[in-house]
Amino acid sequence: MSFGFFRNLTKPRPAPAVEREHCVAGRTLPLKIVESDRARRLTLRIDSGGRGLRITVPPGLRRGEVEKFLDRHQDWLEQRLAKVPNRPQVRPGIKIPVRGVPHRIVHEPSKRGTVMLSRDERGPLMIVHGDRVHLPRRIADFLKREAKREIEALVIKHTGAVGKRARAIRFKDTSSRWGSCTSDGNLSFSWRIMMAPAPVINYLVAHEVAHLKEMNHGPKFWKLCEQLCPDTERCKDWLKRNGGALQAIMFE
């Protein structure tokens, strides 16, 4: 089988990404091959949390070159993936953080499908009702609702401070970034940030709101970020050290 975008065309244009699987270090990971007009060489990236691989290729590259590239970088992949946290599946008995506080998941199927935070003598609990098969999705939906409630309030607070308005606020499950801001004022956030400590959540919102005024990462941007969130450096460092573990949690 051949990749359609490896054919030589008179006027080449980027083709849809090719998706397949690649086995490395005892794992079978989704691999996305993306053609880019701006690419001058092959580049390989591991998605945050080790959730998949991505190769960017120049236009017209033959499939065989991609295979050789993967072979040459197999050792590199194994070394990097060995440092990536395991991908725990959300299930009863494990602990999942909410605003940085680990909650033990307890499944109580007798009631209708809701999620409640509680505690017992052993510590904080996340009680999930309904059928067992829907438990991961219900927890993800709970985190999404919490993200919408808390982050929208923080956006109002920080946009008021900078004198800018957000055109829209969206929530996604992105593996490459925690948040983004477009030039026309659209803010996006990963709902997984609700597993981080509250100061880190505040930092992420402050970071993206600061982009409404400074669409860069220059000195003026970081000064504004510090004004909105005095804990910027500490929170940025926390997310860098711990973000991969949050991205690795599986809600499928």
Q: Is the pTM of this model over 0.75?
A: no
Q: Is the pLDDT of residue 9 over 60?
A: no
Between 86-95, 191-200, 201-210, the lowest mean confidence (pLDDT) is in 86-95
Local confidence band at 5 (pLDDT 50, 70, 90 cut-offs): very low
What's the burial of 190, exposed, middle or buried (CB within 10 Å: 0-12/13-18/19+)? Answer: buried
pLDDT at position 20: 85
Query: Does residue 2 register a pLDDT over 60?
Result: no
Average model confidence (pLDDT) for the chain?
Answer: 88
45-66 pLDDT tens trace: 888 667 788 999 998 888 889 8
Nearest to 189, CA basis, from 160, 149, 218 = 149
The percent of residues in the chain predicted with pLDDT above 70, rounded, is 91
d(CA 136, CA 175): 18
* Average confidence (pLDDT) over 126-131: 94
Query: Residue 12: which pLDDT band, with cuts at 50, 70 and 90?
Result: low
Give residue 82's pLDDT: 76
Domains plus CATH for the chain?
4-82 (no CATH), 135-248 (3.30.2010.10)
Average pLDDT, integer, range 212-219? 95
Residue 6 pLDDT greater than 90, yes or no: no
pLDDT at 78: 86
* pLDDT tens digit sequence for 216-244: 999 999 999 999 999 999 999 999 889 98
Residue 177's pLDDT band (boundaries 50, 70, 90)?
Answer: confident
- Tell me, what's the pLDDT at 14? 60
**pLDDT band of 8, cuts 50, 70, 90:** very low
How many CB atoms sit inside 10 A of residue 10's CB?
A: 4
Share of the chain above pLDDT 90, in %: 60
Cα 88 from Cα 1, distance rounded (Å):
34
